[in-house]
Amino acid sequence: MENYSKDLGRRAGEALARLRATHPLIHHITNFVVMNDTANVTLHVGALPVMAHAIEEVAEMVSLAGALVLNPGTLTPEWVESMLAAGRRANERGVPVVLDPVGAGATTLRTQSNLRIMDELRIAVLRGNAGEIGALAGAQTEVRGVESVRGPEDIVALAGEMARKRHLVVAVTGKRDIISDGRRTLGVDNGHSWLTTITGTGCSSTTVVAAFCAVEPDYLVAAASGLACFGLAAELAAGEARGPASFKVALYDHLYNLTPEQLASGARILELE
């Protein structure tokens, strides 16, 4: 029997209540595959989405936002420059930047672009799978396309080490999500295996994390709360779905209908270190 934290569950529920009350704007510079899905997920969790990529407007747009999502899943050199421009302004304004390093480790361009973003910007949360995070940390991993085939063996230690080195929160999603700020490490056990049957659910979880970062200044707690929220909605959706298509619809419905009280009682977050 795992010792899940009632206090962290309570804080997750309180953050969701603030999110639903304030509807922060979440600025995305994201990939073509998931634009529609992540925009809808942003709405369903209680925030407002905007997808603005042109370098001529990103600094102005992010000044209005509660959080910025950078997702170079269908990257081009021009988009990387837009991400850097938006990120610099976000850093100036104190807007949290959440980076989803889609496919890092698969190609040199992806890996180097994500490393450049991390080098030049102050990132609040780095959210990826084990292969992506391992590749950025210099560990032996295997990423095929944008999917992690083999990640590092000790992801808990790697997440903590990378968080300390980079001065950010590392969130590694998997069967158990691992979240570390280099001092504390949390685990989140909410989720369902059917999430792997739908393209873009990792990117969607990043969006939810960003929405929570807009209302919770402790980004370790924000990341864990967002992943618990998304994972709990997936658990509820799986209980009534017949396959991937009906699961996706039910996931959106449960994200929209999930109450702060349900999240507080259903979040399975525990202290690991």
Would you state the structure tokens that stand for residue 169, as one six-digit string?
A: 């929160």
Provide the residue-wise pLDDT of the chain in tens; the chain has 273 residues.
Answer: 689 999 999 999 999 999 999 999 999 999 999 999 999 999 999 999 999 999 999 999 999 999 999 999 999 999 999 999 999 999 999 999 999 999 898 899 999 999 999 999 999 999 999 999 999 998 765 454 444 444 456 899 999 999 999 999 999 999 999 999 999 999 999 999 999 999 999 999 999 999 999 999 999 999 999 999 999 999 999 999 999 999 999 999 999 999 999 999 999 999 997
pTM, full prediction: 0.94
Q: How far apart are CA 47 and CA 173, in angstroms?
A: 22
State in words which class domain 6-271 has: alpha beta
Predicted local distance difference test score (pLDDT) of residue 179: 98
Would you state the structure tokens that stand for residue 192, as one six-digit string?
A: 């369902």
Would you state the structure tokens that stand for residue 102, as one six-digit string?
A: 């889609």
Predicted local distance difference test score (pLDDT) of residue 145: 44
Predicted local distance difference test score (pLDDT) of residue 261: 98
Is-contact 171 177, C-beta < 8 A? yes
Predicted local distance difference test score (pLDDT) of residue 154: 86
Would you state the structure tokens that stand for residue 142, as one six-digit string?
A: 């295997």
Amino acid sitting at position 114: N
> What are the domain boundaries of the chain?
6-271
Predicted local distance difference test score (pLDDT) of residue 141: 52
